[in-house]
Amino acid sequence: MTHREVELLAVGGGPSNLALAVAMEEMAPPELAADTLVIEQADSIAWQRGMLLPEAQIQVSFLKDLVTLRNPQSRFSFISYLHSIGRLSEFINMGNFWPYRVEISDYLRWVAGTLSRVKVECSRSCQDIWPEYDAAGKVSGWLTSLADGSTIRSRHLSIGIGRDAYVPDVIAGLPERYVIHSTRYVERIAQLRGDVPYRVVVIGSGQSSAEMFDAVQRDLPGTAQRTMIMRSIGMKTYENSKFTNELYFPAAVDDFFDALPEGRQQHLDEMHTSNYSALAVSTLESLYRQLYLDRMSGKGSMRIVTMTDVTDARVDGEEVVLTLRSRRTGAVQELACDLVLLGTGFVRDMPGLVRRLAGALGLERIEVSRDYRLKIPDSAGAACYLQGVNEATHGIADSLLSMLAVRAADIANDILVDHEVPAADDELAPATTVSTQ
């Protein structure tokens, strides 16, 4: 077992902590940047690795990368990445703002490998984090234990691990071989035989559900029947008017944070279909064309079942039997299948790692400041930042790429204040005066 000490430990090598790593690289004094470590449990840096489908595009502008909204001149921008690999001209010629998911994932890997001071280490799985206390009983730092038995002590901590995958209780009891959540689709689907006439059921009505429903015919070409089950009245497109999209500006975070509870709730309710339970227009139109052609041919290999709950699931022999209840009529029927794909999203509660840490701190509630800093009653300079899990206080964009660059600056500036040092170059890294309006 080994033990190390760093000033800032960032747990999770996803976009949030990579944006923070870039901010520290550009804004912090060299010695502080060099004392920053990002750890990732997987053996490589990737983004949404379970859904890295060949033709899937993101629904966010390439300009909302890890850095551009904070520092448009940064060498870590998506444009710099494209230039470095010789694909900038081709991307410009594509004529759109929305990169493919696989190239955003490759961009993140490129950034991690391009950092010169901040260190990024893969195959470092965090098991638990405990607070450490000084002689006065105040929190002075954090001790992080890894799966290999080693530990890392830090004064500052950033947790950016995302939320836990949501598996409905009714499905949770099924053996793993019959169920694939979208977070593991690419990995698990590759392990199945492609020539078997699977009967596949997809549960959910959002983008990930639709993408799996579409992809399974390519990934398992022998599939005999695809069925999509949802509680809603039907699939719908994202609400993405330009007025709505202004609520994804970084400047909108202050308005949301300062709003009354009822104002925050109205915002979240009305903005729901701008990010959840909806599809990109191109995805919806493609699926409808497939359904139309399937009906026209008389094959009947595609079904979309709306206003329906899955109320029970059991294994019968070598197949799964789902019990379905119609919300429209109350009628109950059974559906046999061979594979269940879950596009059910993520648990809305804080991740288990954060909840355990809060328990160790004796916190009754998990709350953060405007700068994403966990509120701790007695701290002796130690700080813990929570990234991507603050939708209730910072707005619906908190878990999205839209916030990365400016949020990283907020956190980096808070850390620099703790160290009583200014940003390394305010001209090149304007963190608090950014406006996208």
Instruction: Dump pLDDT digits (tens) for 175-194.
Output: 999 999 999 999 999 999 99
- pLDDT surpasses 70 at 203: yes
Distance from C-alpha of 36 to C-alpha of 94, rounded to nearest angstrom: 37
Instruction: Dump pLDDT digits (tens) for 351-376.
Output: 999 999 999 999 999 999 999 999 99
Residue that terminates a domain, selected from 342, 367, 383:
342
pLDDT band for 1, please (50, 70, 90 cuts).
Answer: low
Looking at the fold, whether 11 and 156 belong to one and the same domain comes out as yes
- pLDDT surpasses 90 at 215: yes
Looking at the fold, whether 325 and 396 belong to one and the same domain comes out as no
Residue 335 in any domain: the answer is yes
pLDDT band for 378, please (50, 70, 90 cuts).
Answer: confident
- pLDDT surpasses 90 at 261: yes
Task: Give me the pLDDT at residue 423, please.
Answer: 55
| 3-class DSSP assignment, residue 424 | coil
Looking at the fold, whether 194 and 312 belong to one and the same domain comes out as yes
Residues 6+ apart with CB under 8 A from 367: 374, 375, 393
Looking at the fold, whether 182 and 56 belong to one and the same domain comes out as no
Name the residue range of residue 334's domain. Answer: 169-237+275-342
Looking at the fold, whether 22 and 91 belong to one and the same domain comes out as yes
Looking at the fold, whether 202 and 118 belong to one and the same domain comes out as no
Instruction: Dump pLDDT digits (tens) for 235-249.
Output: 999 998 999 989 899
Computed on alpha carbons and rounded to an integer, the radius of gyration of the chain in Å comes to: 23
Across the strands, what pairs with 130?
A: 143
Residue 249 in any domain: the answer is no
Instruction: Dump pLDDT digits (tens) for 67-76.
Output: 999 999 999 9
Distance from C-alpha of 11 to C-alpha of 13, rounded to nearest angstrom: 7
Distances (CA, A) of 25 to 81, 83, 355, 411, 419: 17, 21, 30, 13, 15
Residue 435 in any domain: the answer is no
Specify whether the CB–CB gap between 313 and 229 falls below 8 A: no
Looking at the fold, whether 21 and 132 belong to one and the same domain comes out as yes
Gap between the terminal Cα atoms of the chain: 51
- pLDDT surpasses 50 at 433: no
Distance from C-alpha of 211 to C-alpha of 278, rounded to nearest angstrom: 12
Task: Give me the pLDDT at residue 426, please.
Answer: 41
Looking at the fold, whether 74 and 209 belong to one and the same domain comes out as no
| Helices within 36-173 (DSSP H only) | 78-84, 88-94, 101-114, 169-172
- pLDDT surpasses 80 at 220: yes
Q: What are the DSSP calls for 14-75, one per residue?
A: SHHHHHHHHHHHHHS-HHHHTTEEEE-SSSS--SSGGG--TT-B-SS-TTSSSSTTT-TT-T
Distances (CA, A) of 291 to 59, 296, 339: 24, 9, 20
- pLDDT surpasses 90 at 421: no
Looking at the fold, whether 227 and 184 belong to one and the same domain comes out as yes
Torsion of CA 74, 77, 79, 80, to 10 degrees: 60
Specify whether the CB–CB gap between 308 and 229 falls below 8 A: yes
CATH number at 396 reads: 3.50.50.60
**Amino acid letter, 39:** I
pLDDT band for 17, please (50, 70, 90 cuts).
Answer: very high
Task: Give me the pLDDT at residue 432, please.
Answer: 32
- pLDDT surpasses 90 at 21: yes
Task: Give me the pLDDT at residue 419, please.
Answer: 84
pTM score above 0.85: yes
Task: Give me the pLDDT at residue 418, please.
Answer: 85
Residues 6+ apart with CB under 8 A from 308: 229, 230, 231, 324, 325, 326, 327
pLDDT band for 257, please (50, 70, 90 cuts).
Answer: very high
Task: Give me the pLDDT at residue 240, please.
Answer: 87
How many domains, the chain?
2
Structure tokens at 278: 């909806």
Looking at the fold, whether 186 and 153 belong to one and the same domain comes out as no
Looking at the fold, whether 199 and 321 belong to one and the same domain comes out as yes
Task: Give me the pLDDT at residue 435, please.
Answer: 30
Specify whether the CB–CB gap between 202 and 228 falls below 8 A: yes
Structure tokens at 208: 């990930």
Looking at the fold, whether 71 and 205 belong to one and the same domain comes out as no
